[in-house]
Amino acid sequence: MSVKQKTKSLKARESSLSSPFYQLEVLSGHDTNPDIFPTFSRKAGKEILPLEPEILQINVGKLCNQSCAHCHVDAGPDRKQEVMARETMEKLLQLLDRFPFRTVDITGGAPEMNPHFRWFVESCRSRNVHVINRCNLTIITSNRKYEDLPDFFASNNVHIIASLPYFSKSRTDNQRGEGVFEASIKALKILNAAGYGTENSDLKLDLVYNPAGTFLPGDQLGLEKEFKDKLYRQYQITFHHLLTITNLPISRFLDHLLSTGQYESYMQTLIDAFNPSTLNGLMCRNTISVSWDGFIYDCDFNQMLDLKVNCMSNHIDHFDMETLLNRKIVTNRHCYGCTAGAGSSCGGEIV
């Protein structure tokens, strides 16, 4: 059966679900038909199996200086209680001492707002692992206590992956809030001045693009060229790579889809664009994702739906690598977002 025929078969099954029932199971984070995605991937000739993890992705808290419309973390200034404690970070450092993780991928919220952020970065770098920081850029200019972040990042050779929805003010501010574009441009210039993103620099600066609506991102290489041309011509800003991410139907974006009646049509867009060639490179295969309170997930998106790993070792207090290597990766309808078109590129390691 061709991929097109498989899609038609799946569409028929999907359309049999009434809208309220369909929406309820997604909102709750539990799919009453959990076999749909793995069955579809197996019929495509591939099964999603875990590899020995190379990346330890850590959400150090949901506290953020922004409340972006498409945030899958639902982060914001009000999430002050959901911040990773130093004790939890110390346990994660013990995991780095025991297992050969190559990369620590730090995310949030705005991870820099965690009071132990700098200590944790320095502790990770002292273990000679590659450190990625997911930065929203505006944090650098939001408060005087963060103004020296670019120099701190540079002194620790932190790889910055920064959010910039678009190279225009209107689209960026519409998605992330008034004034975000100008603050982001200012921050990018500061990062460039610190050596980030410049030609032949070891200080890596990558940008992340996600669409402003219910459509898939365009060709990554084409978008990267356009971003580089526009940002350099207008602002003399340079960076290394542009990473593209599909908007997944969870959290605030899910709320938007449901409130505008676009949920089912968007899901159909993702299903129709299912690409089996993306399965080998899914982040859930070589990444262990840890929440601010120490629970373990297959990926950052599962974390936001509270879909913990499918094994007894689902908290760092009971971390068991052998058990994790033999687990069944938890999938759900949102997984179509990572397998649509060319797939989402910001889950893995870009060095």
The residue with greater pLDDT, 62 or 253, is 62
Q: How confident is the model at residue 277 (pLDDT cuts 50, 70, 90)?
A: confident
Residue 111 resides in a domain? yes
Residue 223 resides in a domain? yes
* pLDDT at position 6: 40
Ordered strands of the 103-107 beta sheet: 241-244, 205-209, 159-163, 130-135, 103-107, 55-59, 287-290, 296-297
Report residue 207 as tokens: 């940008």
Residue 347 resides in a domain? no
3-state secondary structure of 318: helix
Give yes or no for a contact between 268 and 33, defined as CB atoms under 8 angstroms apart.
no
**295-349 pLDDT, tens digit each:** 999 999 999 889 999 998 999 999 999 999 999 999 888 888 888 887 765 544 4
The residue with greater pLDDT, 247 or 53, is 53
pTM for the model stands at 0.86
Residue 34 resides in a domain? no
Give yes or no for a contact between 299 and 347, defined as CB atoms under 8 angstroms apart.
yes
For the chain, give the mean pLDDT.
84
* pLDDT at position 351: 32
Q: What is the mean pLDDT of residues 62-75?
A: 77
Which CATH number fits the domain that encloses residue 65?
3.20.20.70
* pLDDT at position 177: 76
Mean pLDDT comparison of 4-13, 32-41, 88-97, 165-174, highest-scoring range:
88-97
Residue 3 above 70 pLDDT?
Answer: no
Cα–Cα distance, 70 to 91 (Å, whole number): 32
* pLDDT at position 323: 96
Residue 311 resides in a domain? yes
* pLDDT at position 106: 98
Residue 18 above 60 pLDDT?
Answer: no
Residue 99 resides in a domain? yes
Q: How confident is the model at residue 245 (pLDDT cuts 50, 70, 90)?
A: confident
Please choose, from the candidates 103, 119, 203, the residue with its C-alpha nearest in 3D space to the C-alpha of residue 159.
203
Give yes or no for a contact between 103 and 54, defined as CB atoms under 8 angstroms apart.
yes
The residue with greater pLDDT, 4 or 262, is 262
Residue 312: how many other CB atoms lie within 10 Å? 11
Pairing status of strand 296-297 against strand 287-290: antiparallel
For residue 308, what are the β-bridge partners? 297
**111-153 pLDDT, tens digit each:** 999 999 999 999 999 999 999 999 999 999 999 999 999 999 9
Packing angle, helices 220-235 and 180-193, rounded to 10: 80
Residue 244 resides in a domain? yes
Number of domains in the chain: 1
* pLDDT at position 40: 62
Residue 22 resides in a domain? no
Cα–Cα distance, 207 to 230 (Å, whole number): 14
Residue 19 above 80 pLDDT?
Answer: no
How far are the Cα atoms of 28, 139, 188 from residue 63, in angstroms, in the given order? 23, 12, 22
DSSP string, 13-74: HHHTS-HHHHHHHHHTT--SSTTHHHHHHHHTT---------EEEEE-BSB-S---TT-TT-
* pLDDT at position 2: 44
- Between 24-33, 187-196, 305-314, 326-335, the lowest mean confidence (pLDDT) is in 24-33
Structural domain harbouring 243: 47-337
